[in-house]
Amino acid sequence: MNLTIKKAMLCGVTSCFLAVSSVQTVSADEREIIWVSAEEKSVLLAEMRAFLEATQQILEGSLADDMEVIEQAARPVGIKMMKATPKALHEKLPAGFTAIGPKAHIGFEGIADEAVGMGDREEVLQQLAELQKACIQCHSMYRLEVK
């Protein structure tokens, strides 16, 4: 074979390899869809972002052994936030979702209570680790879609 044919074959094989290797397997998102309005989705996502921000602040407070920072981060996303969720939204959420959601709020409330109570950093971190399991469970089971 001459050099031009070899180059062409090599380019063809390389192109084929690149095309095959760049194809990604995309599996269907099989999480349960929760149909909400755009406003309701915004409310729920804002709560979730607040959870994430509180988690980060709790971790920083734990590293600094600063129980005041921990309490100030956890308390606003605890029971107070749970009670502020619009009743109409709460009623349209599936039972599994409404079983997990309060665990998160109560978990943050427990962290705030620990911070102002015994102030045990290890206990705060243990509670936060447990709380994260509820977040992961919910995110693996549900997704929000606008109707």
User: Could you name the CATH architecture of 32-146?
Assistant: Up-down Bundle (1.20)
Cα–Cα distance, 84 to 88 (Å, whole number): 11
Contacts by 89-94 with C-beta closer than 8 Å and gap 24+? 89/36, 89/40, 89/43, 89/44, 92/36, 92/40, 93/34, 94/32, 94/34, 94/142
User: Is pLDDT above 80 for 6?
Assistant: no
- Spans of all domains in the chain: 32-146
pLDDT interval class at 24 (50, 70, 90): low
What element of type H or E holds 47? helix 38-63
Class of residue 35 by CB neighbours under 10 A (exposed 0-12, middle 13-18, buried 19+): exposed
- Specify which residues 142 forms β-bridges with: 32
Whole-number pLDDT of residue 12: 53
Specify the DSSP class assigned to residue 77: G
pLDDT digits (tens, 9 = 90+) for 87-146: 999 999 999 999 999 999 999 999 999 999 999 999 999 999 999 999 999 999 999 999
pLDDT digits (tens, 9 = 90+) for 51-84: 999 999 999 999 999 999 999 999 999 999 999 9
Q: Determine phi and psi for 34, rounding to 5 degrees.
A: -110, 110
**Nearest one of 64, 58, 45 to 128, comparing CA atoms:** 58
CB contact set of 93 (below 8 Å; sequence gap of 6+):
34, 101
Whole-number pLDDT of residue 103: 93
